[in-house]
Each structure stands twice: as C-alpha cells, then as structure tokens.
Amino acid sequence: MTDIEFIQKMPKIDLHCHLDGSLPLPTAKRILKDLGEEWDEERLFEEMGVPDDCPSLAAYLACFDLPIRCLQTADALEMCARDMAVKAAEENIVYLEARFAPSTQLLGGLSVREAIEAVDRGLKKAERETGIMTGIIVCAMRHLPEETNLAMFRQAREMLGAGVSACDLAGDEASFPMHGFRNLFEEAIRLGLPFTVHAGECGSRANIREAIDLGALRIGHGTAASGDPALLELAADRGVGFEQCPTSNVQTKIISDFSGSPVREFMQAGVPVSIGTDNRTVSRVDLTEEFSKLSAFAGLTREEAEKIYFDSVSMAFAGDGVKERLFRKGRDFFGPSAPGRESGL
C-alpha cells in the first residue's frame, strides 16, 4: 500500500472543524441563490478561501464574512451541516466534531436553541446517510459581550448530550486574551459544560497556560507551546490534548511551513494530539491532505498516525458508546501496534 493509499484508507477523526469555515461551495451557491444572489463557484472560492499572502489571523478571520451571512436560517444551517459532514465521510472521516458560534447566526430571527437544533438535524442526516458519527461544539466569540456568551452557554447546557458535546472560545486571540474570560469559563464549569479553548494561535504561551489552569480539557491549536518544555509537561500531566491544524497555522503565519509543525514535538512530550482541518473551505484543505503533508514534510510515520487516531478517540467529547465504536474501528484497521516501527507513511 502506497503512502497516499494508506492515508486515504485509514479511519480519520476531525475534532477541530468550524461549520462556517467549511461551508461547501455548491451549498453556498444554493443558499445565495435563495437569497436572490447569483455566484459562480470560482468567485465563491476567491471570496471564501484564504489568500496565499494572508498576513495574520485577523486577516484570515475576514474570510468568514460571507459564510456567516449565508448561515442565518435554520434551513441553511441544516443544509451546511449535512453537506459538510457528508463530504467529510467521503474521505473516511469516521467521527467529526463540528463547531460553530450560535450567537453569530441569529440575524434572521433564530434563537440560539433553534440554531443548534438546525445544525444537529443536518449532522443527524449525514449520520443516517453515511455512518459518520458527529458532535457539536458551541463557540463563544471573543469579540462578543460577556452576557451574550454566558447566555449562549446556558442555553447550550440544556442540550448537552442531546446534540451539544462541549463549548469553546474562538475569535481574535491577540486582541482578546484569555484573562478576560475567567468568568465565562467559571460559569462553564458550574454548568458542567466540558470545554476546549482556542489558545496559542497568536504566539501567546500565557493564553495556553491560563486556559489549562481554568480547566480546559483540550486546546485548539496550542502551537505557541512549542519550545516550552514546562508548558508541555503541564499539558501532559493534566492530559490536556492539543488540536493541531497545520494548514491554517501555515496560512496565518504561526509556523513557516509543514516541516515546522510541532506535532511530533508535542507527541514526544507526552501531549495527546489530534489533527484537524480547522476550516475545510476557508483553508482549502481536507484531512487526507493534512496527514499527507505531515508525512511528506514533517516525517510523520504510520505508527504516529495510529497514535494520533487513538489519542483523538480519547480526546473526543463523545459518550462511551461512540468511543467504543471508534476504538473498534481503529483496531480493525491498524491491527496490533508495532512499537519502534521507523518506516514513514
């Protein structure tokens, strides 16, 4: 089996995938047509895809303006969730956690609950059609008022285990550092909402440390922890997993290229790692490509890909039944582990 065949055939898990940033182009075209706007896919590709000369995370986030405008009705959210998950299943993603910010989808008159329910319906459709397993992570946004984020968490708590799997904090990390969100995550803990946090995506190790101290079970990106043995030891000791998204990290200039990815450094430090797409459409990437580039440019081995799969199962915000099914799928494909294997993918 060639390298690319192995990557294509292996079961994959995406724990870091934004719904709005992964709005499929044909779906966006249909939604915009319903709004009375005619767009061709080439124009959509240019509008929604990150430019090659993207200078920063803030510029990257500007690519979300059109997708967010598209996703303001229940039908649009349901369609996007279904189509994104079906597309993911086509590349043998067996479990997908779709994250979105319900508070940004209310311009059409939806409530937070209605927005979450629409995404859940779409994901459930994809599950029935393809067999993929899914969960929802609801995102608070750094630029929104604290009360807006708190109200969203409280509403999401009512759906925990019935669509919602966990919560998150996303947005412009450099402009809104972690120390301003202590109240938000103290409330998440009080509510019993497990959470991941976008941190270390703008170079701040302090944001990662504070997120861990506040009780984050996972860190979105965490790339800034590279080169900090004490911080990696803290994450490893507490079992905090890092959701790595190499392509978007290159695009936002967090790392210079794939050879600079800290994935292997984190694994060698004992930190659980998953690989995610971040934004399938905005970053113009899928999970097969993420693994292929890590293999080609960072030397990721089959043994390491196997470990990432099983670490991802353990990191997932999923129930025991789903995790057992995922462990079984992994054992069926990878078979007995082969410690010490040095061959590349």
Residue 34 placed within a domain: yes
Beta strands in 21-90 (DSSP E): none
Beta strands in 81-170 (DSSP E): 93-100, 133-141, 164-170
Residue 341 placed within a domain: no
Residue 344 placed within a domain: no
Q: Are strands 241-244 and 218-221 parallel, antiparallel or unpaired?
A: parallel
Residue 204 placed within a domain: yes
- Type of residue found at 127: E
Name beta bridge partners: 95.
Answer: 13, 133
Residue 340 placed within a domain: no
The reported pLDDT for the residue numbered 345 is 59
Report the distance separating Cα 210 and Cα 232, nearest Å. 13
Residue 203 placed within a domain: yes
- Type of residue found at 190: R
The reported pLDDT for the residue numbered 338 is 34
Q: What is the CATH number of the domain that holds 216?
A: 3.20.20.140
Q: Which domain holds residue 278?
A: 3-334
Report the distance separating Cα 21 and Cα 189, nearest Å. 28
Burial (0-12, 13-18, 19+ Cβ within 10 Å), 342: exposed
Q: Along the 345 residues of the chain, how does pLDDT read in single tens digits?
A: 568 899 999 999 999 999 999 999 999 999 999 999 999 989 998 899 988 788 877 788 888 999 999 999 999 999 999 999 999 999 999 999 999 999 999 999 999 999 999 999 999 999 999 999 999 999 999 999 999 999 999 999 999 999 999 999 999 999 999 999 999 999 999 999 999 999 999 889 999 999 999 999 999 999 999 999 999 999 999 999 999 999 999 998 899 999 999 999 999 999 999 999 999 999 999 999 999 999 999 999 999 999 999 999 999 999 999 999 999 999 999 986 533 334 445
Residue 145 placed within a domain: yes
CA 160 to chain centre: 18
Q: What letter would DSSP give residue 163?
A: T
- Domain total of the chain: 1
Catalytic residue among 97, 117, 201, 210: 201
Report the distance separating Cα 275 and Cα 294, nearest Å. 10
The reported pLDDT for the residue numbered 343 is 42
Contacts of 308 (CB under 8 A, 6+ apart): 263, 267, 273, 274, 275
Name beta bridge partners: 134.
Answer: 96
201 is catalytic: yes
Residue 195 placed within a domain: yes
Helices marked H in 131-192: 146-157, 182-191
- Type of residue found at 159: M
